[in-house]
Amino acid sequence: MDRVEIALGPLTYNWTAARRASFYEGIAADPTFDMVYMGETICAKRQAINGAVMAEAITALEAAGRKVVHSTLSLATTDPERRAIADLVEDPSLTIEANDAGALRGVVGRPHHVGPHINVYNPGTLEVLAERGAVAMCLPWEIDRKSLDVLIRRGRDLGMVMEVEVFGKAPLAISARCHHARAYGMTKDGCQYVCDRDAEGMAVDTVDGQPFLTLNGLQTQAHAVTVLIAEIAELVNMGVGRLRLSPLDLDMSAVAAVYRKLLDGALEAPAAEEALLALLGERDPANGFYYGVEGSTWAA
């Protein structure tokens, strides 16, 4: 069986330039990450202020031997948002991960990745995308194990590297309106970049005080952190080609090391799970989507 790779997903939070620089310095120094997805997938406004530091990080990552893929915005309606996508897809030297159909159009006919924000639910869609040049695909977070089994096998048959999100806060929704700014009484246009106040997004609780969701700029994420770890052996059997870890404000190299050891047989699943849950600290884990039940639940 092929070696299963480990990828770091795009940073979804609005970290400061300094925090981004030190984070990616660490990733560049860590060969556990076979691939690093870069690019702003949530809000084009963030890109305007962090573009320079992210460009430097990309240079450093590539110099260190990390394979870099450029992820596009998941929702684009305004001219600046469309321009952000065009700037990436019009550069033939870049490997692109498309996160909307507009970006897909820009890369038709050349090898590209399909991101988790493209609705891939069935083999028919896999075939459409493979025909147009997709060589790798990260499946949406809410796909359950029975469907993953079908999709991963079919995707491999079509010659694609099939990737699954195994760690991170699941994106649940995206809006043209910024609910994060709105919570502070502001609008998207005049947001003052309030989404940089929370390193992992702003917690949304029920009015009874139960943790529920996370506001992250235009995106709404889960409160709980998706953790697939006992499930990795099953995913490997299906033929998964790459595991994707979505950055949180913790030691992502330590997280990646757990997955690498598990994949290499240097760590058993129960010990790997224990190690990951320890790294999560106070955060709640979830794996319900994988089992086709409430995504918020943890079937230990």
Partner 1 sequence: MAEVTPLRPASSSDSSIELVCPAGTPAALTAAVEAGADAIYFGFRDRTNARNFPGLNFTEKEAGEAVATCRAHGVKPMIAVNTYPDARDDAIWRRAVDVAADLAVDGLIVCDMGLLAYAAKKHPNLRLHLSVQASASNPEAVKFYQEAFGIKRVVLPRVMSVSEIADLTRAVAPVETEVFVFGGLCVMAEGRCALSSYATGLSPNKDGVCSPASHVRYEQEGDVMVSRLGAFTINRFDAGESAGYPTLCKGRFASSARTGHLFEDPTSLDATTILPELKAAGVKALKVEGRQRGKAYVAQVVRSLRAAIDSDSRLADPATRQLMEGQGRTEGAYRRDWR
C-beta of residue 35 within 8 angstroms of C-beta of residue 66: yes
Q: Which one, 49 or 128, has the nearer CB to partner 1?
A: 128
Q: Which one, 66 or 188, has the nearer CB to partner 1?
A: 188
278 to 297, contacts with partner 1 by CB under 8 A? 288-289, 292-296
C-beta of residue 240 within 8 angstroms of C-beta of residue 164: yes
Minimum distance of partner 1 from residue 270's CB (angstroms): 26
Q: Is 22 in the site for partner 1 (CB under 8 A)?
A: no
208 to 267, contacts with partner 1 by CB under 8 A? 208-210, 212-213, 215, 220, 222
102 to 141, contacts with partner 1 by CB under 8 A? 102-106, 108, 117, 119, 121-129, 132, 141
Burial class (CB in 10 A: 0-12, 13-18, 19+), 146: exposed
Piece of the chain touching partner 1 by CB under 8 A; list 30-38, 43-51, 56-64, 144-152: 144-152
Site string for partner 1, 165-204 (x = CB under 8 A): -----xxxxxxxxxx--xxxx-xxx----x-------xxx
Q: Which one, 179 or 283, has the nearer CB to partner 1?
A: 179
Piece of the chain touching partner 1 by CB under 8 A; list 26-34, 55-63, 101-109, 233-241: 101-109
Integer-rounded Cα radius of gyration of the chain:
18
Nearest to 38 by CA among 22, 16, 56, 65: 56
Q: Which two tokens stand for residue 150?
A: 């079908």
Distance from the Cα of residue 93 to its chain's centroid: 22
Q: Which phi and psi (to 5°) does residue 295 adopt?
A: -65, -20
Nearest to 116 by CA among 155, 144, 78, 142: 142
Q: Which one, 19 or 132, has the nearer CB to partner 1?
A: 132
- The Cβ of residue 18 has, within 10 Å, a number of other Cβ atoms equal to 9
Q: Which one, 176 or 269, has the nearer CB to partner 1?
A: 176
Residues contacting partner 1: total by CB under 8 A: 75
DSSP 55-83: HHHHHHHHHTT-EEEEEPPS---SHHHHH
The amino acid sitting at 96 is: I
Q: Which one, 39 or 102, has the nearer CB to partner 1?
A: 102
Nearest to 120 by CA among 91, 95, 152: 152
Site string for partner 1, 63-92 (x = CB under 8 A): -----------xxxxx--xx--xx------
Q: Which one, 24 or 167, has the nearer CB to partner 1?
A: 167
